[in-house]
Amino acid sequence: MPAGVGRAVGIGETIGTSLQVGAASGDDGAFELPPGHPDFGQRIVGYYFWLFPNLMLNVYPWGVSVNIVRPLAVDRTRVSFLSYVWDPALVDKGAGADLDRVERQDEAVVESVQRGMRSRLYRGGRYAPRHESGTHHFHRLLAGFLSPAADASPG
């Protein structure tokens, strides 16, 4: 796997779970994976697990960051970031380093997009295949979850 490129692994697409694997670029701190692990021999810096509809578990060599997304209104969302550190010596190294700053930057980007969507010039349209595949996937899962057919399925 080339440096800096991750792979996505679909695990249970019907219930909306997915795993992205982050590969190291440069001297990023990576997991020390044991022989026999599926990613042994690769420099993996993060495992990013998403559970539909609103939970993300980001696993780094230093610990875990849990992100919980709670819709408050049509145009408002609150995201809670909880970090659990098991190796403080690794917190400032590699992926997930300076996590608070990165999360604040992510929030600023989302807020900027929301402002743009409220502008009088914004017109909704098709998803951009190269940039919005995750959003499209989420919206398809959400539509399936909310459809009347989902209520009628056995289970």
Question: CATH code at 142?
Answer: 3.90.380.10
In order of 14, 22, 48, 52, 143, the CA distances from 137 in angstroms are: 11, 20, 16, 11, 10
**Domains identified in the chain, total number:** 1
Contact partners, residue 77, CB within 8 Å, separation at least 6: 69, 70, 71, 110
Residue 23 is part of which domain span?
7-147
Chain segment 83-134, per-residue pLDDT in tens: 999 988 888 887 777 787 878 887 888 788 888 888 888 888 888 878 777 7
Beta strands 76-85; 63-73: pairing state: antiparallel
Residue 111 resides in a domain = yes
State how far the Cα of 19 lies from the Cα of 49, in Å rounded to an integer. Answer: 4
Q: Which tokens belong to 37?
A: 């692990």
Residue 65 resides in a domain = yes
Residue 153 resides in a domain = no
pLDDT reported for residue 111: 82
pLDDT reported for residue 10: 45
pTM value is 0.71
Residue 137 resides in a domain = yes
Question: What are the helix and strand counts (H, E) for the chain?
Answer: 3, 6
Residue 88 resides in a domain = yes
